[in-house]
Structure formats: C-alpha cells, structure tokens
Amino acid sequence: MQERGVHISGLDINDIMRRQNQELYNIVKDSYRAFYHGTEIAGIEPTHEDRAKFPTLTLIDRILQESLANIEGGVNFSHLASLRSKILPFVEALRADPSMFKIIDETSSGYLAACVNQPLAGFTEIANLVHIKTLPDIPAKLEAMRVVMACNEIKSNVRAIVDATGGRISHVEVELVNAMLREVNTRLSPDQRWPGVPEIVPHQIMIQQHLTEENIARISGIVKERCFDIRDEMVANFACNSVIQDFWASVTLTEEEKQTLSADETRLKGLIREAEEREEDPAPLYEEFEIAKTKCREDILAASREKTIKAIAIKQRQEASAAAPDPAPAQASAAGALPAAERDSGSAIV
C-alpha cells in the first residue's frame, strides 16, 4: 500500500496539494451540490470518502493525492502544474453542466480500486466523454470521438502485448496502457494533447521494457489507420452502434427531443408513482412500463443515428461546395467576350 503523498524539497506534497488544488475540490463539490439539488442526497456534504455517492470526486482526489507518489527521477512543481492543467478544464465543464455526472459517475466507479494508474485510466475515459459533450455540433463531436476509438484501440493492442507474455505482466497492464496512450498521442498529435491522457505514469519503470520504439510505432500505425484515416461514416457507426451509443444519443439530441421521444415512458412512470401514493398495487403497470422504456430507448437511438447521418451529409455538401472551383472568373470572361459577329467584323468598343 503506497503512502498518500511524497516530499518535495522538505515539503509534504499533501500540504502543497491542499493549497494549490482546493479550488478543484470546491468546484467538484459545488457541481455535485447542483446535480443533487432537490433530492434526498442534497443535504449530504460531498466528500471523496463517500465513493458510492461521489465517485468522480473520489477519483480526482486519488489522482491529485497519489499520482505523483512514485515518479522516477523525483517530482518537481511543473508536475503539479501539469496535473492541475489536465483537471481544471474538466471540472470547469462539470461546473457549467452538472448533469454530466449522469454520464461519468458510473465510469468513475469502475476505476477506484487498485493503484493510482486505475484512476488515471478512468480519468482519460471520462475526460473524453465530457470533452465531446461540450463541443458545439455533431461534426466536432465525431472528430473528438476518434480519440475515444484510439483509446480503445490502444487498450486492445496493449492487451495483445500482455497476452503474448502469457499474462506475466497482467498486473501492470493499466500502467502500460497509460504510458502507451501518452506515446501514441505524442507520435500522432504532437501539438494536441488528448483529453485526460497522463503526462506522468506512476511505476513506468515496471513496463519500460515493453514500451519499445517498435511497439509504439506499430500501435501508432494501427491507430492512425483505424481511427484517424477513416471516413466520418465509420466513426458514426462506432458512435451509434457500440457500447457508447446511449452516451452518443444523450449528447446529440436536445433535451426537448429526448423528452418527446420518451413521453410514453414518462407517462407510465407517473402513473406508477400515483398508484404508489394511493397505496394501490402498481404491478399491472410494470410490464407496460418496461415495454415503453425499451421502445423509447430504441426511438432515441434511431433518432440519434438519423441526426448524425444528416449532419455528416450537410458537412460533406459544405466541403464539396467549398472545394468546387469559383465560377465567377469564367462567367466574367464570358460576359466580357465580344459577340461572334463583332469578332468576325473586327469591330470593337474603344
């Protein structure tokens, strides 16, 4: 069990973190308060120790407190600044839209066990989801979805490296994933850091022999080919038909669109609640509610697919129009040409 914190020039990093990162904690806590406003949880003070109710706060706390604890070569203040710069845009997005906890809390909950590389991997995942939700339109969201595809591709290829060792390095698989994410990001997008990808990977020395130039180049090539060199339609197929499809629908449809499509589910939920308040048996409504719930989800996913396809078509038309040669010069030339009769007679306007 690693001690929470290290020392920098005689100063305890926990003290430094408390001073420099209290703003981050406060933003997340305030965002949770806004998210739970009007519910029975509203009166509970958000704390990183309550991982059941506030898993994203727990995840961020673990990253801030533990991710610098085992850095080869020692820690300096630039490491703290780098870490904070990764997290600040994320928590600012949460403050702007606390409803994002509905999207990320379940994911955060799955990354709270084991060493700090698990929370770091979880942060990369939720940071990309939040980033996609903040983007203004579907084409921009699709472009950002390529990074999610890249992260999945890297995980798959790292798993192949682990399997090739007969599972001997399975205990450091997440360390290798985090380090490979950073290296592939640097190789493919040196001027653009992907959301949440860690600059610093604790315990990297344990996987250094597998973080080879050959592996980095090979995986970078695969990611480029399968994630960044493909058409928007293939990205849309991933977004609309993979395990991420419900998330994609939630960020591509407006609240009004989702409410309209789920009206029947909402109606039946209200009838069940009213029956319970009258102390009547709501059981006869349950089956109808489950059928309506399934149908509403199918309708929402279908609407999201249709909206995504339309957005791609509009983008392609705009790009084709922008790439088409400007007809103005040809038209001007034609407009200024002499009639054939005048050319033949040699007459002209002087």
Q: Is 196 helix (H, G, I), strand (E, B) or coil?
A: coil
How many structural domains does the chain have?
A: 2
Residue 186 in domain = yes
Residue 327 in domain = no
Residue 350 in domain = no
Provide the domain limits for residue 290.
253-316
Q: What pLDDT sits at residue 3?
A: 40
| 16 and 155 together in one domain | yes
Residue 230 in domain = yes
H helix runs in 165-282, sequence order: 173-188, 213-223, 232-241, 245-252, 255-261, 263-277
| 117 and 162 together in one domain | yes
CA distances from 325 to 206, 246, 320 (A): 56, 41, 10
Q: What pLDDT sits at residue 349?
A: 33
Torsion angle of C-alpha atoms 111, 87, 194, 151, degrees rounded to 10: 0
- Residue 96, judged by CB atoms within 10 A of its CB (0-12, 13-18, 19+), counts as exposed
| 25 and 47 together in one domain | yes
- pTM summary value: 0.84
Residue 134 in domain = yes
H helix runs in 110-137, sequence order: 117-134
| 258 and 225 together in one domain | no
Among residues 6, 50, 10, the alpha carbon closest in space to that of 28 is found at 50
Give dist(CA 301, CA 104) in Å, integer: 19
Residue 344 in domain = no
| 162 and 64 together in one domain | yes
Low-confidence ranges of the chain (pLDDT < 50): 1-7, 9-10, 332, 334-350
CA distances from 137 to 126, 197, 254, 308, 315 (A): 19, 23, 11, 10, 11
| 28 and 90 together in one domain | yes
Phi, psi of 11, deg, nearest 5: -105, 140
| 212 and 291 together in one domain | no
Residue 137 identity (one-letter amino acid): D
- For 72, residues 6+ apart whose C-beta sits below 8 A from its C-beta are 204, 205
Residue 322 in domain = no
Phi, psi of 51, deg, nearest 5: -75, -15
| 170 and 289 together in one domain | no
Q: What pLDDT sits at residue 98?
A: 96
| 21 and 109 together in one domain | yes
Which of 228, 249, 270 is at the close of a domain?
Answer: 249
